């Protein structure tokens, strides 16, 4: 445990290096939470589809990339380190539900019935998932033998790669 603790202490002093894995994932959680709050605000302001659709698409893109890096890199490393398999199983089921809702949102027009409701429910799913990760899973990961610094580097690189791939297919509006 002292190796894990010293690794996490060094994460706080890292400067320009990539954040530790859990720090990167928590930052993603904050970013997407802010986007959901912005979406709620836009909906309450009775925004039209042209305003709501790009924001919903940004949410869906960030969630898709976030889920991919967790599933490809973080969760397998946590399993290999012996972190609670029940929590990891739940996280993967939650990802599947979120991905299904993301696909539904992406297949709809922003003026369709239930569009805003689906984005709202997606936000609620994500809030629940984030709470479990940050309150239960991440503390167990920090206490394990996982090399969170090395994982953070891998997560950041894969995230950048996926964001680049996804942005290539996106239309620039301006």
Contacts of 40 (CB under 8 A, 6+ apart): 120, 123
pTM for the full predicted model = 0.86
d(CA 66, CA 156): 10
Q: What is the pLDDT of residues 67-95, one digit of tens each?
A: 999 999 999 999 999 999 999 999 999 99
| pLDDT band at 127; cut points 50, 70, 90 | very high
Query: Which tokens in the block code for residue 21?
Result: 């894995």
Q: What is the pLDDT of residues 11-63, one digit of tens each?
A: 444 455 678 999 999 999 999 999 999 999 998 887 888 889 999 999 999 99
d(CA 99, CA 172): 24
Query: What pLDDT score was predicted for residue 8?
Result: 42
């Amino acid at each position: 445990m002292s190796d894990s603790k010293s690794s996490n202490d060094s994460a706080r002093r890292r400067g320009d290096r990539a954040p530790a894995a859990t720090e990167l994932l928590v930052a993603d959680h904050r970013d997407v939470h802010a986007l959901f709050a912005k979406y709620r605000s836009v909906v309450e302001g009775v925004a039209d589809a042209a305003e709501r659709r790009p924001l919903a698409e940004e949410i869906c893109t960030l969630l898709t990339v976030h889920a991919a890096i967790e599933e490809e890199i973080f969760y397998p490393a946590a399993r290999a380190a012996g972190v609670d398999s029940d929590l990891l199983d739940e996280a993967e089921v939650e990802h599947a539900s979120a991905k299904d809702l993301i696909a539904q949102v992406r297949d709809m027009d922003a003026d369709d019935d239930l569009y805003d409701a689906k984005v709202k429910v997606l936000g609620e799913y994500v809030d629940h998932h984030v709470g479990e990760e940050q309150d239960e899973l991440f503390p167990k990961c920090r206490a394990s033998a996982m090399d969170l610094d090395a994982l953070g580097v891998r997560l950041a690189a894969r995230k950048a790669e996926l964001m680049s791939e996804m942005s290539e297919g996106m239309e620039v509006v301006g």
